[in-house]
Amino acid sequence: MHELKDLYQEVIVDHNRSPRNFGKLAGANRVLEGYNPLCGDRLTLYLNVKDNKIENITFDGSGCAISVASASLMTETIKGKSTGEAEGIFHSFHDMVTTDSGEPDFDKMGKLVAIAGVRDYPTRVKCATLCWHTLHSIIQGERASVSTE
Ligand code: ZN
């Protein structure tokens, strides 16, 4: 249980118990499901994008605490940002969880630093980045697909 103890910081526990922006988004014009077969995390993102601005973003689905907390934190961070800004944050986040050196930069990353601990657990990195890869795919223009589960 050491892994859980180290990872499940207060912010992660809170966002897993009470995920922000959770549920389908009425009027979403971009929808994409992301799946992490290693862990079984399955999350769908709903975005309303207008003039390259992410006016609203929600998610639903189910997954482990890390994947849900990461998605919750991501929606809080990304809502209202331009797609270009969101891409920049995606790359910064990806670097943060895949790079071993250095303290996470709170000024730059804000609450997202709560997820930084996953970099010590390679299998968990995929849980934390699932929502971000899905967001990246949406911004890159992959065709919207709706979950058919
Ligand atoms: Zn997971």
**What gap in Å lies between CA 68 and CA 73, rounded to an integer?**
9
Give me ligand 1 centre to Cα 72, in Å. 14
Determine how β-strand 30-36 pairs with β-strand 53-62.
unpaired
Domain count across the chain: 1
List the end-to-end C-alpha distance of the chain, in Å, as a whole number.
Answer: 32
Tell me the CA–centroid distance for residue 60 and ligand 1, in Å. Answer: 14
Q: Within 10 A of 79 (CB to CB), how many other CB atoms are there? A: 17
Range 44-66 average pLDDT: 96
**121 band by pLDDT with thresholds 50, 70 and 90:** confident
Compute, in angstroms, the gap from residue 88 CA to the centroid of ligand 1: 24
Cβ atoms of 118 and 93 closer than 8 Å: no
- Of the pLDDT bands very low, low, confident and very high (cuts 50, 70, 90), residue 51 is very high
Distance 37 CA to ligand 1 centre (A): 9
- CA 9 to CA 23: how far, in whole Å? 24
